[in-house]
Amino acid sequence: MQENRVEALLQGLRTAYPGAQSRLKYSNPFELLVAAILSAQTTDDQVNKVTPGLFRRYPTAAALAAADPEEVAACIKSLGLYRMKAANLVAACRILEEKHGGQVPDNIDELLELPGVGRKVANVVLSNAFGRDVIAVDTHVFRVANRLGLATAGSVLETEKQLMTVLPPGTRGEAHHLLIHHGRAICRARHPKCRECVVSMYCSDEDHKNRGKASH
């Protein structure tokens, strides 16, 4: 995809979603790591409902590392996979205490050693907590990036690699939020609102692209 087309696409999304940012509520890297682990297969809004109480009870990695996983599970039982997530949180925080002085590491290899942390969570933490110029690819980013021709990939990892190449330096974290917002609001997996899409002219799906032409 040509550089000027990428910039025009990003600008269209910026206009549609000014100030797009993470919906997860956090105040430090530890809280973001916990919230990101909890966000698997559930919504950010659901996560935000449980994290205030969780952080009051377990405000640090040391507190969670010493916790009973069953008690942690009780705090987050409204979320899907809550028992597994609770076990992962406690195990991850024990590693933070044992290997990192209770601090969240700022490199992907060490983040990926933590239970419950895959590339998406690691890149969310690196981008939002540490300002790294990386892009986290979730289901929304994967779908929208491939529909809009920013990537032509069959996997999340390959999509991440292609986006790191095609997106201008300094825009990758922003692009993550823009693509997620667009995926939630317009470019849905089912019944996308093509006629309301401000960037439908870049759509690589001819069926969707034709549906969006009426508004441009």
25 as an active site residue: the answer is: no
Model-level pTM greater than 0.85?
yes
* CA 49 – CA 38 distance, rounded (Å): 11
Out of 49, 109, 120, 209, the active site residue is 120
Q: What is the 3-state secondary structure (H, E, C) of 189-216?
A: CCCCCHHHCCCHHHCCCHHHHHHHHHHC
* Element holding 129 (H helix, E strand): helix 119-130
- 133: helix, coil or strand? coil
DSSP state of 67: S
- What tens digit of pLDDT does each residue of 46-72 get? 999 999 999 999 999 999 999 999 999
Looking only at Cα atoms, what is the longest distance across the chain? 58
138 as an active site residue: the answer is: yes
Which residue, 66, 119, 121, is CA-closest to 90? 66
82 contacts 73 by C-beta, under 8 angstroms: yes
Please give the pLDDT value at position 74.
97
32 contacts 120 by C-beta, under 8 angstroms: no
Task: Collect the ranges in the chain with pLDDT lower than 70.
Answer: 1, 206-216
Please give the pLDDT value at position 208.
55
* CA 112 – CA 22 distance, rounded (Å): 21
172 contacts 135 by C-beta, under 8 angstroms: yes
DSSP 156-172: HHHHHHHHHHHSPTT-H
Which residue, 209, 156, 168, 159, is CA-closest to 187? 209
* Element holding 142 (H helix, E strand): helix 139-147
Out of 25, 68, 85, 138, the active site residue is 138
Q: What is the set of domains in the chain, with CATH numbers?
A: 3-20+135-215 (1.10.1670.10), 29-130 (1.10.340.30)
Residue 133: CB partners within 8 Å, gap ≥ 6?
A: 127, 169, 170, 172, 173
- Any idea what the Cα angle at residue 211 is, between residues 208 and 215, rounded to 5°? 125
